[in-house]
Amino acid sequence: MNDPLQTGALVSKDSPRQRFVLEETGFDEVPVKYRRFYRRWQGPGDSLAPNEVLCPVCKVVIRSTRELRPGDRVYCMPCMSRLVVAVGAEGRLEARVAY
């Protein structure tokens, strides 16, 4: 499993996470087998699904097969950033760089 969501988050006492089937997105900046885990952000008219979060570094949308929650650690392969999911000012999930 090469999901950007780091697997430790899946072994928790939280309620079960909704699962998502990822389709090919045409994202071509990573090897073929990872392409479905990323897509380009389409700008202000775009919106994020519960399994998606925007990378603040390269502005690529990171997609997991699982619903994302605050505190999750995700990996952005296009820019090799390690990120933590948090609740942003507008109440939406956003990713922050993990140091």
Which of 76, 85, 93, 95 binds Zn ion (CB under 5 A)? It is 76
Report the nearest approach of Zn ion to the CB of residue 95 (Å).
8
Minimum CB separation of residue 22 from Zn ion in Å reads 17
Question: Binding residues for Zn ion, how many (CB under 5 A)?
Answer: 6
How far is residue 48's CA from residue 54's CA, in Å, rounded to a whole number?
Answer: 8
**Binding-site member from 22, 30, 57, 84 for Zn ion (CB under 5 A):** 57
What's the min distance (Å) between Cβ of 98 and Zn ion? 12
**Structure tokens belonging to residue 6:** 């780091």
Calpha distance 17→96 (Å, rounded): 21
Q: Are 64 and 83 in contact (CB under 8 A)?
A: no
Tell me which residue has tokens 């948090």. Answer: 86
Q: What residue ranges bind Zn ion (CB under 5 A)? A: 55, 57-58, 76, 79, 81
